[in-house]
Chain A
Amino acid sequence: MKPLTLSKWLSTIFLLTVFLIAVIIFSVWVGAEKIDFVRFFQMTSERDRDILFYSRLPRLLLGAITGGALSSAGAAYQSLLRNPLADPYTLGVSGGAALGSIFGMGLGLPFTLISLMAFMSALASMGLIYWIARLKGHLPAHTLLLTGAIFNAFCFAIILFINSVVTIEQVHQIIFFLIGSLSTESYQKIAVIGGFAGGGFFILMISSGRMNALSLGDETALHLGVDVGRFRCFIFFAASLMIGAVVSVCGLIGFVGLFIPHMVRLIWGADHRLLIPASALMGASFLTLSDTLARTLLTTSAYQTELPVGVITALLGGPFFVYLLKKQQRCLL
């Protein structure tokens, strides 16, 4: 694999962007209710307009933003923690963000504040997990995973506790929230989280140049002139912002941040200047397609119900995670 050049970067990003647009266009037309192209373009049908713009498109945009955010944040965590098994879900950061969101919901805060609470809890979780798992400047994989699992369990315990003291209406809200779904949201909400996620992504992009050196370890990165402390703060901040934003709307969607960066590395190499944006684009496409599957798989059957997208990502991502773990174990031996 040749090292990254500007032309390779541009052509890959272009290709992936075109693919994402194709996925969105495809997904807009796919669904339980049939849409007539001709009738739609003549703009005579209110029903078609509602279905496309108020049922499908918001979901697709939300899926693209969420998939992009989770994937690029996952790639960023992996470089910072020097561990290909890091991902917002397995690390416990998503769990922390969910807890923050639920607090916000329980207090009845307006949506933007709930998002901010999610962001702050994501940041706090990341800091806590990092501090717990750190051993003499290294973050061994098993310690990190264990810390993440315990932290997730802890967050869930608190969520279940909250569940037992709130009203029954809120119980339902909380449970559905945890499952992880892209159900129709308003364009305002989408704009808000799009803004947060976009801001975080921008910070990741600027830092991506130094992420290569960072992924070699703190000392090596320092030797190569990278201000490790400063960049670590930037990256954790940006990733937590993105994760807080998407978790506060969609709940817990797992494994996307694990699966996608790995695929991108396999195809285009580990250079983070390409990995970060490519993961975002591929993640966006992947989650959009997964959601299209989730909302059509059973809808046309006798059950006529939608699956939460978290189910699809777990079914695909779970076995993949096991495969990665096994591969790592073999390498260590």
Chain B
Amino acid sequence: MIKIQHLHFSYDKTPILKDISLSLPKGGFLGIIGPNGSGKTTLLKIIAGLLKNYRGEMTLEGKSLSSLSRQEIAQKIAVVPQDTSIPFSFTALEIVLMGRTPHLKLFAFETKRDVDIALKAMELTEVRHLAHRLMDDLSGGEKQRVIVARALAQQAPILLLDEPTAHLDIKHQIDIHNLVQRLNRDKGITVINVLHDLNLASLYCQEVLMLKEGSIGFHGPTKKVMTQDNIEKIFEAKIYVGQNKDTGQSYYLPRS
């Protein structure tokens, strides 16, 4: 689905990403982790088509990313950014409906079908009841769930997330990640998720890419790659890896 070959990216002569190559099939679920400044968000932006002056090749479903128009990219890729501020008084439903923009003509109105898709997306992220409330009046967590709903309303086969649950309480963190996982398993949506939280990465991602200073540190299936050694090398911090006796799932804690 997504293929990246020998990607190099610099910003003002400072190299940010060095020789990144990876290939993600349809239905894959990739987590990107790494220390601050390792280039995670930059990589995500490049995949989303936001940054253009990179060296190397990037293809989406076989087509080169640079050959696609903005609208075409948006029909294939939906992004949930870290946080957004909205200066105008839009309602939650209006914001989610904007997710339909890639599918609308220049001056068109949303059809009933569009509205249904938006409402369904809001149900999935449990914000349906807030549809006609102004975004200004919602809590940080509610706002974030509306943004996730907007990305879902885009109905794109690829979903990119940049720390989508950073401001949410634990219940909603679990809910959103479970939702994304369901979409990945049942609907075959390809997911790339940038995460700080090692536990979430380990719990939900099938494969993990560990970046350090712009280069690939380690890449592969989660269980194989997220070892204590590797993590300590990448993050230069001491950690403790435990195992959940019931599920066999690893968990990661700081070690003083």
**Is the CB–CB distance between B88 and A224 below 8 Å?**
no
Check A217/B84 contact, CB under 8 A, given A1-B91, A6-B109, A269-B89.
yes
**Is the CB–CB distance between A225 and B109 below 8 Å?**
no
Bound form: Cα–Cα A9–B108 in Å: 11
* A301 interface residue per 8 A CB criterion: no
Q: How many residues of A contact B (CB 8 A)?
A: 37
**Is the CB–CB distance between A216 and B98 below 8 Å?**
yes
Of A19-27, A93-101, A148-156, A201-209, the one with at least 4 CB within 8 A of chain B: A201-209
* B94 interface residue per 8 A CB criterion: yes
**Is the CB–CB distance between B74 and A225 below 8 Å?**
yes
A223 interface neighbour in B78, B95, B108, B132, Cβ under 8 Å: B78
CB distance from B116 to the nearest CB of A (A): 12
CB distance from B48 to the nearest CB of A (A): 6
B:33-64 near A, CB below 8 Å: 48-50
B81 interface neighbour in A83, A220, A331, Cβ under 8 Å: A220
CB distance from A216 to the nearest CB of B (A): 6
- Name which residue of chain A comes closest to B154, CB basis: A224
Bound form: Cα–Cα A207–B101 in Å: 13
Q: How many residues of B contact A (CB 8 A)?
A: 41
Q: Chain A residues near B226 (CB, 8 Å)?
A: none
A3 interface neighbour in B78, B81, B97, Cβ under 8 Å: B97
**Is the CB–CB distance between A225 and B91 below 8 Å?**
no
Q: Chain B residues near A3 (CB, 8 Å)?
A: 91, 93-94, 97, 110, 115
CB distance from A77 to the nearest CB of B (A): 13
CB distance from A267 to the nearest CB of B (A): 12
Check A225/B106 contact, CB under 8 A, given A210-B101, A271-B94.
no
**Is the CB–CB distance between A213 and B98 below 8 Å?**
yes
* B248 interface residue per 8 A CB criterion: no
* B99 interface residue per 8 A CB criterion: yes
CB distance from A222 to the nearest CB of B (A): 6
Q: Chain B residues near A5 (CB, 8 Å)?
A: 109-110
Render A189-212 as a binary contact track against B, CB cut-off 8 A, 1 for contact.
000000000000000011111101
**Is the CB–CB distance between B107 and A209 below 8 Å?**
yes
**Is the CB–CB distance between A205 and B107 below 8 Å?**
yes
* A232 interface residue per 8 A CB criterion: no
Bound form: Cα–Cα A271–B49 in Å: 27
**Is the CB–CB distance between A225 and B71 below 8 Å?**
yes
- Name which residue of chain A comes closest to B134, CB basis: A1
Bound form: Cα–Cα A210–B106 in Å: 7
- Name which residue of chain B comes closest to A4, CB basis: B109
B84 interface neighbour in A207, A220, A226, A273, Cβ under 8 Å: A220
**Is the CB–CB distance between A209 and B108 below 8 Å?**
yes
* B104 interface residue per 8 A CB criterion: yes
Q: Chain A residues near B99 (CB, 8 Å)?
A: 224
B70 interface neighbour in A212, A225, A270, Cβ under 8 Å: A225
A209 interface neighbour in B71, B106, B115, B136, Cβ under 8 Å: B106
Bound form: Cα–Cα A4–B104 in Å: 14
Q: Chain B residues near A270 (CB, 8 Å)?
A: 88-90, 94
B:105-119 near A, CB below 8 Å: 105-110, 115
Q: Chain B residues near A210 (CB, 8 Å)?
A: 101, 106
Bound form: Cα–Cα A2–B89 in Å: 13
Closest 6 CB pairs of A and B: A225-B74, A225-B102, A225-B71, A223-B79, A270-B88, A227-B70
Please give the residue numbers on chain A whose beta carbons come within 8 Å of chain B beta carbons, in ascending order. Answer: 1-6, 9, 78-79, 82-84, 205-210, 212-213, 215-217, 219-220, 222-227, 265, 269-271, 273, 331
Give 26 CB contacts A-B under 8 Å: A1-B91, A1-B132, A2-B93, A2-B132, A3-B91, A79-B88, A82-B87, A84-B88, A208-B107, A209-B104, A209-B107, A209-B108, A215-B87, A220-B81, A223-B50, A223-B74, A223-B78, A225-B72, A225-B102, A227-B71, A265-B89, A269-B89, A270-B88, A270-B89, A273-B107, A273-B109
For the A-B complex with A212-B90, A220-B84, A227-B69 known, give 18 more contacts whose Cβ atoms are closer than 8 Å. Answer: A6-B109, A206-B106, A209-B104, A209-B105, A209-B106, A212-B94, A212-B98, A213-B98, A215-B88, A216-B98, A222-B48, A222-B70, A223-B74, A223-B77, A226-B71, A226-B74, A265-B88, A271-B90
